[in-house]
Amino acid sequence: MIKSTSFRVFTLLIVSLILSFGVNYFSPSGIALKGQWDRSKGVVGANSKQDVLHADIEINNPLEVRKMIQNREVVLLDVRSKDIYDKGHLPGALSYPLIDFDEVLLKLLDIVKKDTPILVYCSGVECSDSHTFATRLLALRFTQVRVYAGGFLEWQEMGFEIEKNET
């Protein structure tokens, strides 16, 4: 009797696992089982069907980013929320929150051409908002869009200058 019950429980468990992994695999919003989790290789992200991380547009060197900002080589976009931006952002960065992409896009088109070098950043390597924003710009045929993978957190850890909006 106990062997029979144990076998049924084990069988039910196996069938449940197979069904759950199957549904997850075929679901467009399923949970990714593999991904890029090594922070030293850029932005952390799951390799899912909706993944928008493109390592080829990343800049992973904060010194290179600092030089680009100092030389005014790029339009710098902070895609974090406006409240977080106000508490601290990279020098010269403009606030273009990802959550307001459609509204801020019109504002962006007023100040830049589609071939203007743009550098997008968010909180750090555990934030993919900058990649999402950059991918949307690339889809709209912006040609020189890059992502600062280390974002605000790495900038701050390096001890570089930070600007704040006093309210």
Q: How far apart are CA 2 and CA 23, in angstroms?
A: 31
Q: Which residue has the tokens 């909180």?
A: 123
Q: How far apart are CA 116 and CA 114, in angstroms?
A: 6
The pLDDT of 67-88, averaged and rounded, is: 96
Q: How far apart are CA 154 and CA 123, in angstroms?
A: 8
Residues 6+ apart with CB under 8 A from 47: 32, 34, 35, 36
Fill in the amino acid letter for 141: R
Q: How far apart are CA 108 and CA 163, in angstroms?
A: 21
Look up residue 143 and give its DSSP letter.
S
Q: How far apart are CA 103 and CA 117, in angstroms?
A: 21
Q: Which residue has the tokens 């019109």?
A: 106
> What pLDDT sits at residue 31?
64
3-state secondary structure of 57: helix
Look up residue 93 and give its DSSP letter.
P
The CATH number given to 35-157 is 3.40.250.10
The per-residue pLDDT of the chain, averaged, comes to 85
The pLDDT of 96-119, averaged and rounded, is: 92
The residue among 154, 159, 150, 155 whose CA lies nearest residue 58 is 150
Alpha helices in 27-124 (DSSP H): 62-70, 82-87, 101-111
Q: How far apart are CA 89 and CA 76, in angstroms?
A: 10
pTM, to two decimals: 0.71
Residues 15-52 have pLDDT tens digits of 888 888 888 777 766 666 665 555 555 555 555 444 54
Pairing verdict, β 45-46 and 35-36: antiparallel
Domain boundaries, the chain: 1-31, 35-157
> What pLDDT sits at residue 72?
94
Look up residue 30 and give its DSSP letter.
P
